[in-house]
């Protein structure tokens, strides 16, 4: 099976960092601060789409400044990688040992994902990955389609795991199996709109789920 994971809020506990960097960037750009909850609501989108959602009435030049300042602050903060959520590291290693292929579908940029993978020493861990600046932003399913094409799996042999409705919506649009995690950016109510097969409270619960027959 191909197991496709979101990154921020599913694998890595980076939500507070994302909110803090967006708030710092807004101050730099002279924009009103958005709450941590507001920023959590756009996690999973590509950066241009996230900024447009948070500041829809702002001139493009100001949004571009906000994007640049957010990227700057995140690079500065990324000198110390965020921690994995509990059980994540061991679960991913077990899934690979069980013979599954592991991929990432993230709203991060390619440079951002490569930087954090390098900091963690995980450059060669995943079989494939797609980032928002390489393809269409979630919830468009293009990144999932590209991962299927690259790895040779059919949609019936793949599972998407994520913490936001954007993750589950893009899987649903392809008819891909999907599981939500309860500990990330979006509420269970938002996740349930896209009919996941399960919502798990820690990633190690995925082991029993994928080992079930059928």
Assigned CATH class of 15-77: mainly alpha
Assigned CATH class of 2-12+85-211: alpha beta
**Preceding amide of 139 cis, omega within 30:** yes
List the beta strands (DSSP E) in 136-202: 158-162, 177-181, 198-200
pTM of the model: 0.94
Q: What is the pLDDT of residue 44?
A: 92
Domain with CATH 3.40.50.1000 in the chain: 2-12+85-211
Residue 152 Rama label (left phi>0; alpha psi -120 to 50; beta): left
Q: Give pairs for 56-61: CB < 8 Å, separation 24+.
A: 58/31
Q: What is the pLDDT of residue 214?
A: 57
| DSSP state, residue 3 | E
Domain with CATH 1.10.150 in the chain: 15-77
**Other C-beta atoms lying within 10 Å of the C-beta of residue 57:** 4
Task: Split the chain (214 residues) into runs of 10 and give each run's mean pLDDT.
Answer: 97 96 97 96 94 95 96 90 93 96 96 91 95 96 98 98 98 98 96 97 94 72
Nearest to 160 by CA among 30, 64, 148: 148
Crossing angle of helices 47-54 and 60-77, rounded to 10°: 120
Of all helices (H) and strands (E), which one includes residue 176? none
Q: How far apart are CA 139 and CA 164, in angstroms?
A: 10
């Amino acid at each position: 099976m191909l197991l496709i994971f979101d990154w921020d809020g599913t694998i890595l506990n980076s939500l507070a960092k994302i909110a803090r960097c967006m708030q710092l960037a807004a101050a730099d750009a002279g924009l009103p601060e958005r709450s941590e909850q507001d920023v959590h609501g756009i996690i999973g989108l590509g950066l241009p789409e996230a900024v447009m959602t948070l500041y829809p009435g702002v001139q493009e030049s100001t949004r571009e400044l906000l994007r640049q300042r957010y990227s700057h602050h995140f690079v500065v903060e990324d000198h110390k990688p965020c921690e994995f959520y509990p059980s994540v590291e061991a679960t991913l290693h077990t899934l690979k040992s069980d013979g599954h292929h592991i991929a990432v579908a993230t709203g991060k940029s390619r440079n951002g994902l490569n930087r954090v993978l390098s900091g963690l020493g995980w450059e060669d861990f995943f079989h494939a990955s797609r980032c928002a600046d390489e393809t269409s932003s979630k919830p468009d399913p293009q990144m999932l389609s590209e991962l299927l094409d690259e790895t040779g799996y059919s949609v019936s042999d793949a599972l998407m795991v994520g913490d936001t409705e954007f993750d589950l919506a893009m899987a649903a649009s392809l008819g891909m199996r999907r599981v939500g995690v309860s500990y990330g950016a979006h509420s269970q109510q938002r996740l349930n709109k896209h009919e996941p097969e399960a919502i798990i409270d820690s990633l190690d619960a995925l082991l029993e789920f994928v080992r079930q027959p059928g």
